[in-house]
């Protein structure tokens, strides 16, 4: 779904050693019904984890629970995720999502295997600033 809106600071990129709160998305075949404490959106189940982990440990945690760090496919899903973070954290908490470019030069991918087509990032993002930002987070400064 195309949108004429430009999100100025929709995405921030974080190095993989800092600790941040994170979301994860449950795989569609696993989530015909969402477990208690999860929120359904577009045939997927989401849960905001209000704990701090490094990106790789967050993805491992998600896999153990049948999912991945969330991917973002369109503006509606992005807005849903922002709202879920705000409800879970009480603020626009910077949170890990499943984007990574580790092992790929100038190419980002989602850990859940979905196409990386969403492009309403802030100007110049994602950019792997300094050549060491291989993990993706969102809600930098809590602005759009």
Tens place of pLDDT for every residue, the chain, 144 residues? 332 222 222 333 333 445 676 766 665 556 678 888 889 898 888 988 888 888 999 999 999 888 899 999 999 999 999 899 888 888 888 888 999 988 776 788 999 999 999 988 877 778 766 666 788 888 755 544
Q: How many domains does the chain have?
A: 1
In a domain, 2, yes or no: no
In a domain, 24, yes or no: yes
The model scores a pTM over 0.85:
no
**Host domain of residue 117:** 11-142
CA 43 distance to own-chain centroid = 17
How confident is the model at residue 103, as a pLDDT?
A: 78
In a domain, 119, yes or no: yes
User: Per residue in 61-77, is it b (16+ CB within 10 Å) or e — as a string?
Assistant: bbeeeebbbbbbbebeb
Encoded tokens for 96? 């890990």
Nearest Cα to Cα of residue 98 among 112, 115, 80, 78 = 112
In a domain, 48, yes or no: yes
In a domain, 31, yes or no: yes
How confident is the model at residue 2, as a pLDDT?
A: 32
Tell me, what CATH number does 107's domain have? 3.10.100.10
Encoded tokens for 47? 């849960």
Q: Are 45 and 39 in contact (CB under 8 A)?
A: yes
């Amino acid at each position: 779904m195309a949108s004429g809106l430009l999100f100025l600071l929709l995405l921030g990129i974080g190095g993989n050693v800092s600790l941040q709160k994170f979301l994860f998305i449950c795989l569609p075949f696993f989530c015909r019904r969402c477990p208690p404490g999860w929120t359904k959106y577009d045939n997927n189940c989401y849960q905001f984890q209000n704990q701090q982990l490094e990106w790789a440990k967050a993805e491992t945690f998600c896999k153990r629970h049948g999912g991945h760090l969330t991917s973002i496919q369109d503006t509606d899903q992005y807005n849903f995720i922002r709202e879920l973070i705000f409800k879970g954290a009480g603020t626009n908490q910077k949170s890990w999502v499943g984007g990574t470019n580790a092992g790929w030069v100038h190419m980002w991918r989602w850990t859940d295997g979905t196409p990386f087509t969403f492009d309403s990032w802030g100007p110049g993002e994602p950019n792997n600033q300094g050549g060491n930002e291989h993990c993706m987070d969102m809600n930098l400064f809590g602005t759009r």
